[in-house]
Amino acid sequence: MKEYDIISIGGGPAGLTVGLYGSRYGLKTLVIEKKIFGGAMAISPLIENYPGMEPIKGTDLTNRFKQQAAFYGSELRDLTDVSSLDPDEKIITLNTGEQFKAKVIIFTTGSRERKLGVEGEEKYTGRGVSWCATCDANFFRNRKVIVVGGGNSAAIETLHLVKIVGEVSIVHRRDQLRAEDAYIKQIEEAEVGFHWNSVVKEILGDGKKVTGVKLSNVKTEEEQEVPLNGVFISIGYDPNNELAAEAGIELNENGYIIVDNKMQTNIEGIYAAGDITGGQKQLTVSTGQATSATMNAFLYMHGGSWYK
């Protein structure tokens, strides 16, 4: 059995930050990722809002995160799934059958965007289909886009887009938004179009990029094709919380891990950071929470606290 001081379950921006800070503190640190390191950061065509960084491809920024964590001594394991966790013994078991023991475990498992599940969605992801206006709005200057959704997230995406892109419309399966009144008022004052009582049936493209969508009215079943350049999907997120739930970690009503001001969960020695804790799903938030979690984990292992 291999033993570590810290194991981060997840290798997105938060997990790689754990790797950086953990190893710089002289802690034996392991970062586990079951899909691709970097998560949503890795598949972003261009990241323009990371402080102090020139616009950079998501893959390039991910590689910088990885190289920095590895340089200071963190071990990175990709394509490795965690099948079980014993919080009493701080033992995690990988799908390979190997066992690893850690003094501290930090969940950085993130969340996944809810998808429409329609034809063209996967094919044109990153080529006109996006889940982040903050990340991708600048690619659609003087172009036509739609936002799919009707809650606060969709409203916030819309308000960001109207400042940048040429034309914005909202597609919502109901006849009114479910967002807060303040957001609705701002949207009403902006030049935003609406496709009420409608859902996206198909995302259309020319093989290289999005060229439009096929909409269906949920009441009349009438279909129409709308030419456009971008589709911003904002119908919510689902936390990657299955392992945490099985381990007895407390979750909120939306399934996100509950943490205190030290980023610690209800189980001693287990922390969480990044999108798995809910809140704003931004790169800077994830790295900041991971920094806090790792620093507090270091003090936990050495009997100290920032808060004394």
C-alpha 151: how far from chain center: 18
Which position among 78, 81, 135, 260 bears the catalytic label?
135
Note if 132 is an active site residue: yes
Note if 81 is an active site residue: no
Instruction: Give 223-227 contacts, CB < 8 A, sequence gap 24+.
Output: 226/146, 226/169, 226/195, 227/144
Which position among 136, 181, 206, 238 bears the catalytic label?
136
CA distance 28 to 83: 22
Burial class (CB within 10 angstroms; exposed 0-12, middle 13-18, buried 19+) of 46: middle
Note if 135 is an active site residue: yes
- The residues carrying an active-site annotation are 132, 135-136
